[in-house]
Structure 1
């Protein structure tokens, strides 16, 4: 696997870490929603599920795209041979542009998931 600016900045090991982040965040979201329902917390508190749902989307997107937004932000990559610095300014700009897009996608998915959770709670309860 090779570093490709704006396309791929993590290898298989880092991808697995992002997948675990996504799965763990999704599990946290499920536990949170179950707690809100089981403990009869105010329905508005379901809006807080946006945070773990955003984390789940972020982990999944980074895994799928083989791209870490955090690495792009600090100007590094790790495709399997350890962390290396991005020295080319054009490559760094391409990485950061992709990071902004992935972050926006994850935020959108998190918000959509929250709307669906809240909507389902209105219908069910």
Structure 2
């Protein structure tokens, strides 16, 4: 899915990658605790949130696209936010941001389903 169009620089990518690792650690820890302590299955749905955030962080870092900035037609290439002037670039950023969000939602849904399937 990589393209030349991006809206975040290396520093912003690192921030999102760090967010991904922290949220993933929280999600895995919660899933482990919920399964080990036999927490009722409906409570396990809570892991959806940190796994979704982790997926968003990792995908945004990999694709070099911030979905929030893309929605506003902005970029931050490590020198502060600025408007993207090229209309085609904005459309491509927004299209890829939608793909990132859908992929993150699917990943979180599958991870949550997996946690629900454990005894």
Q: Shorter-chain-normalised TM-score: which range?
A: 0.7 to 0.9
Aligned residue number for residue 109 of structure 1: 107
Structure 1: runs of 5+ lacking an equivalent: none
- Paired residues in the alignment total 116
Moved over 4 A (4+): none
Q: Once the 2 structures are TM-superposed, how far is the Cα of residue 81 of structure 1 from its aligned partner? A: 2.9
Q: Give the structure with higher Rg (CA).
A: 1
**Could you list the per-position Cα deviations for residues 48-106 of structure 1 after superposition, in whole angstroms to 9, with x for gaps in the alignment?**
21111111111111111111111101211112332211122222111111111110011
TM-score (norm 1): 0.83
Counterpart CA distance in 1 for 2:85 and 2:101 is 23
Q: TM-score by structure 2 length?
A: 0.86
Q: 2:52 aligns with which of 43, 51, 54?
A: 54
Tell me how far apart the structure 2 counterparts of residues 42 and 53 of structure 1 sit (CA, whole Å).
19
